[in-house]
Amino acid sequence: MGIAIISPGRDVSIWIDNITKLDNNIEVQVYPNIIDKEKIETVLLWQHPYGILESFPNLKLVCSMGAGVDNILKDDRIPTHLPITRIVDEKLTFSMTNYVIMGVLNFHRQILRYQKDQQRRVWDMSNPEIPVCVGIMGAGELGGDVIKKLNFMGIEVAGLGHSPKKGLDYPYYDKTQIDQFLKSINVLVCMLPLTQETEGILNIDLFRKCNKGTYLINVARGKHLLEDDLLMAIDEGYISGALLDVFQKEPLPEAHPFWTKQEIMITPHIASVTNPEAASPQIVENYHRMKNNLQLLNVIDRNKGY
């Protein structure tokens, strides 16, 4: 029995090397060259063809190759009895937190302004800092680490989550209090999981509830953001600018207006990238736990979507 990796268009050789290094008894097959589907008990997925898992008669475990599982959950042909796990990795958290803090500090210290001043040879020492209160949409594992680090730096921060929480050392709002949350901040960071409820949440109605001049950072999923609405919100002054790492279509099309919109900074989905060397031990551990009917690591809740 073994593992199948289904990730069309990606070089997965590093995953194979790391998995077999940890356990050379695991047979790894790679889509589309999966010869013996009856041997497959575990699949690793990223952007898989929907419906393909129906052809594996002995499948017992589905593993995301990253922290996100939204693409997997959109495949409604995956049997409901199959557990789905995701990658939880300190290095992923480290990279994501550093990226968000970089974006916050760039806005706070107006780096783009000074880059423009340099190009124009302007020496302007006025108002060198913008006071910030950062709002994290998605105060879970990743968002919670950002909040912790910003708090440590002395930067005001608030969190927004799905359900009420008590006993936190920062202002927290649940989804019914989103209007109050938006009015308390001027940097909005989206770190939400992508679900039916959160898709398109970054829209013109939400932006018009923000304090004028709010700065947006999106490191979650491209489908959280209605891209034309962001352009409208910038033109109306509700959003002063944005740092975007994820997009509705990737790679970002060459004709997309984000490339030339001076208020928007883009990066090519690199805020936090899965490290196969760090992630493979979780895959192998869960493979063995599945074989021995033990509790799995990092199982997601299908009802919540994460």
User: Which residues are known catalytic residues?
Assistant: 221, 269
Ramachandran category for residue 129: left, alpha or beta (phi over 0 → left; psi -120 to 50 → alpha) = beta
Half-sphere exposure of 129 (CA within 13 A, CB side): 6
Q: Which residue is listed with tokens 């192998």?
A: 284
Q: Write b or e for each residue in 66-104: b if 16 or more Cβ atoms lie within 10 A of its Cβ, otherwise e.
A: bbbbbbbbebeebeeeeebbbbebeebbebbbebbbebb
The answer to whether the beta carbons of residues 242 and 217 sit under 8 Å apart is yes
Which strand (E) or helix (H) includes residue 64? strand 61-64
